[in-house]
Amino acid sequence: MDLRDSSSSSPPNRDGSTAAAAVLSVTSALAKYAALCFQSRKFAECVDVLNQIKSMKDNDPKVLHNIAIAEFFRDGCSDPKKLLEILNNIKKGNEELALASGEQVESGSNGGNKVTSGSKGSGTNSVSIIYTDEFDTSAASLNMAIIWFDLHEYAKALSILEPLYQNIEPIDETTALRICHLLLDVVLACHDASKSADV
């Protein structure tokens, strides 16, 4: 693994942006290496690398999510209910972070700007749009639906997938495609082909 780009030749700025860029570069390189380990089925090594990232980005929901998935595979996929619980907790924590961040941004913008009551609702919508990528729970929800599908709990999988499908526009294209494919599998497993026409 080549980490040459993680060292910076330029002096740090007063705001520490060079240091932050270096940390971002290192975490990016580690994330790529973790993905390579996972794809090579080296799950224990993947967990180790992800734990290194976690030490740099403590409580990052995406890192916690990836650790949970890698540990599940490392342990031979033996306890899907435990993984469901972990993913659900990560999802809830992520939603709470989004809500807290949205409240902070909204209260911060209210303090500095004149906001009329009519524009408050649109301010709330813009907050959710701003934080969609950072606090996206669609991957955790998709993984939960996959587990329910594998456990032949199609109604539970469907209850997760339908809301995702109804709000599929803000979800990244790869995850959206996976949601659609799984939704097709679920409705066909439920012998409800009429729902598959919409998907």
- Residue 33 domain-assigned (yes or no): yes
* pLDDT confidence bin for 120, thresholds 50/70/90: very low
Nearest to 33 by CA among 7, 57, 52, 19: 52
pLDDT at 31 over 60: yes
Q: What is the pLDDT of residues 49-99, one digit of tens each?
A: 999 999 988 788 899 999 999 999 999 999 999 999 999 999 998 888 878
* 108 is a domain residue: no
The secondary structure of residue 6, as a DSSP letter, is: G
Could you give the number of structural domains in the chain? Answer: 1
pTM, entire model: 0.70
**Does the pLDDT at position 8 exceed 50?**
no
- 34 lies in some domain: yes
Mean pLDDT of the chain: 78
Q: Is residue 87 a part of any domain in this protein?
A: no
Pairwise pLDDT comparison (111 vs 97), residue with the higher score: 97
Measured between alpha carbons, how far is 187 from 154 in angstroms, rounded to an integer?
8
Answer whether residue 53 is part of any domain: yes
Determine the structural domain holding residue 43 and report its residue range: 17-76
109 falls within a domain: no
Greater pLDDT, 167 or 23: 167
